[in-house]
């Protein structure tokens, strides 16, 4: 008899967690993981594998779990995914593997993400399984950007025996995993652990290296490297372009989260970087970044932390779990509402003027277009506003690489299957190519590019595919 619902994962209580930055879900015990693994039908079609952007052998690792062969489960997982502790926590499983799970047709799908996380956490408490590295090929690859795409590409390339150097402009590796996603959703020690594992394989990571300024892609290819992978992400915050946006108290989500996460401003003054959160905080946007920002504001002491989103609940792009956690934590969702002006007094934010929206005809994205309702303007009092409406491509590498073909939005044009760009030996993947997407999609792109780079390097000098 199959259990119809997922084995629940224990969580920190709401009352506790809104006062700390510790991780919210606490993980499965071995017995809980085995019970959940037993729900997998081991169906022959395994649609979950196709639903996974990096093609993890999901039934395979779950079968090992069911048989309590935890080490084997980890090894199977790591064949396809270098960062399981991260993906188990931040992937939108409901629209990927779990969304197509056969069991999900009748019951709740298998909690694949939770099982993945269990494996990674189990490994961190036991002897790490270091993937085998092939014999040195003598080829050298530069990876620009130590985020999900770059780290995945680096891990894969190293496994194939190439010498890999990752250049990161910030003072730590991890990219959005370090500066963007909060501690309570993805503990930084976990990211650091995954990165240490890559370094143990022989991946060399150089921080504080602003490629595009200190050296260009051209320099890298000329001096030391046989190929370059660009995974510099979508780091340029978008603003709304409405009046009052430069008032004190208006943050980009990037700045707000970077202060809190990367610079640990939630521990100011022990850490030197400050952050300011008023009694009332308004976050604009409906994605994961908006959820992260509003929940961070709550933890930093905002009595009301509100989300303003111009479409309806159905269109919220955030992961279901994030919306659920945000609601539990008392985040006030003002849907079908759009800001039109930030209101200030003496240079400081005092409120956000909004207008109500209704859904009209479908737009290019297939979603119904939000249309303002005339005369519905209203003011929301707030001392802090956080703009979380997406990011554009980080401009430094695109702007400083002559001959690199870009889209009109400034993203790098790259073949989705191989990551090949308009320049020989230069590959790209992740958000710098696709625009802001998910961690796992970036990892998938990094992985595909790594195998294309491997083929390119093995084909020899000047070869084209």
Nearer to other proteins, 370 or 430 (CB): 430
The Cα-based distances of 48 to 7, 64, 83, 440, 441 in angstroms read 19, 16, 18, 14, 15
Least distance in angstroms from the C-beta of 251 to other proteins: 8
Q: What burial class does residue 376 get, using C-beta atoms within 10 Å of its C-beta: 0-12 exposed, 13-18 middle, 19+ buried?
A: middle
Write out the two tokens for 35.
């019970």
Residue 167: which of 193, 194, 140 has the closest Cα?
140
Nearer to other proteins, 8 or 274 (CB): 274
H or E segment to which residue 457 belongs = helix 439-458
Taking each helix axis as running N to C, give the angle between helix 112-125 and helix 58-66, from 0 to 180 degrees, rounded to the nearest 10.
60
Least distance in angstroms from the C-beta of 400 to other proteins: 11
CA distance 98 to 116: 12
Least distance in angstroms from the C-beta of 438 to other proteins: 19
Q: Cβ(144)–Cβ(228) under 8 Å?
A: yes
Nearer to other proteins, 261 or 421 (CB): 261
Least distance in angstroms from the C-beta of 166 to other proteins: 10
CA distance 191 to 49: 24
Q: Cβ(385)–Cβ(349) under 8 Å?
A: yes
- Alpha helical stretches, state H, 5-69: 14-17, 30-37, 47-51, 58-66
Least distance in angstroms from the C-beta of 267 to other proteins: 9
Nearer to other proteins, 171 or 378 (CB): 171
CA atoms within 13 A of residue 49's CA, in its CB half-sphere = 15
Residue 216: which of 457, 460, 404, 434 has the closest Cα?
404
Least distance in angstroms from the C-beta of 207 to other proteins: 5
Nearer to other proteins, 27 or 278 (CB): 278
Least distance in angstroms from the C-beta of 210 to other proteins: 6
Nearer to other proteins, 34 or 388 (CB): 388
Nearer to other proteins, 269 or 366 (CB): 269
Nearer to other proteins, 57 or 245 (CB): 245
Least distance in angstroms from the C-beta of 442 to other proteins: 16
| Residues making contact with other proteins (CB under 8 A) | 169-171, 179, 204-210, 213-215, 235-237, 239, 245-246, 248-249, 251-252, 254-255, 258-259, 262-264, 268-274, 276, 347, 394-396
Write out the two tokens for 98.
């779990």
CB atoms within 10 A of CB 194: 21
């Amino acid at each position: 008899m199959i259990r119809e619902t997922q084995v629940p994962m224990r969580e920190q209580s709401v009352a506790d967690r809104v006062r700390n930055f510790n991780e919210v879900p606490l993980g499965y015990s071995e017995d809980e993981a085995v019970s959940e693994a037993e729900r997998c039908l081991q169906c022959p079609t395994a649609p979950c594998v196709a639903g996974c952007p990096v093609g993890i052998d999901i039934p395979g690792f779950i079968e090992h779990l069911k048989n309590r062969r935890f080490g084997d489960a980890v090894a199977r997982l790591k064949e396809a995914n270098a960062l399981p502790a991260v993906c188990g926590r931040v992937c939108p499983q409901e629209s990927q593997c779990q969304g197509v799970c056969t069991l999900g047709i009748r019951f709740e799908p298998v909690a694949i993400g939770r099982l993945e996380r269990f494996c990674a956490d189990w490994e961190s408490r036991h002897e790490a399984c270091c993937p085998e590295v092939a014999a040195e090929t003598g080829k050298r690859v530069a990876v620009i950007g130590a985020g999900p795409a770059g780290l995945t590409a680096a891990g894969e390339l190293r496994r194939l025996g190439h010498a890999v150097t990752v250049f990161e402009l910030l003072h730590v590796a991890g990219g959005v995993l370090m500066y963007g996603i909060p501690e309570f959703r993805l503990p930084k020690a976990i990211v650091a652990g995954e990165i240490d594992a890559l370094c143990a394989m022989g991946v060399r990571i150089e921080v504080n290296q602003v490629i595009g300024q200190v050296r260009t892609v051209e320099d890298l290819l000329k001096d030391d490297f046989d190929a370059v992978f660009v995974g510099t992400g979508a780091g340029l915050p978008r603003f709304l372009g409405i009046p009052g946006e430069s008032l004190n108290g208006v943050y980009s989500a990037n700045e707000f989260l970077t202060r809190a996460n990367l610079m640990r401003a939630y521990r100011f003054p022990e850490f030197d970087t400050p952050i300011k959160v008023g009694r009332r905080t308004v976050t604009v946007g409906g994605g994961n970044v908006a959820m992260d920002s509003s929940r961070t504001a709550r933890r930093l002491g905002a009595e009301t932390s509100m989300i303003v989103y111009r479409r309806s609940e159905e269109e919220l792009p955030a992961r279901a779990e994030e919306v659920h956690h945000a609601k539990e934590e008392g985040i006030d969702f003002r849907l079908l509402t759009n800001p039109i002006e930030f209101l200030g007094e003496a240079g400081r934010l005092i409120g956000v003027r909004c207008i109500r929206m209704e859904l009209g005809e479908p737009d290019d994205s297939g979603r119904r277009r939000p249309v303002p309702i005339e005369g519905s303007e209203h003011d929301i009092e707030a001392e802090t506003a956080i703009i979380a409406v997406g990011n554009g491509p980080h401009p430094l590498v695109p702007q400083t690489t002559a001959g690199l073909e870009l889209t009109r939005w400034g993203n790098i044009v790259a073949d989705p299957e191989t990551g090949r760009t308009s320049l020989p030996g230069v590959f790209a993947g992740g958000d710098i190519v696709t625009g802001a997407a998910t961690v796992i999609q970036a990892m998938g792109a990094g992985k595909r590019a790594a195998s294309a780079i491997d083929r390119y390097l093995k084909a020899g000098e000047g070869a084209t595919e």
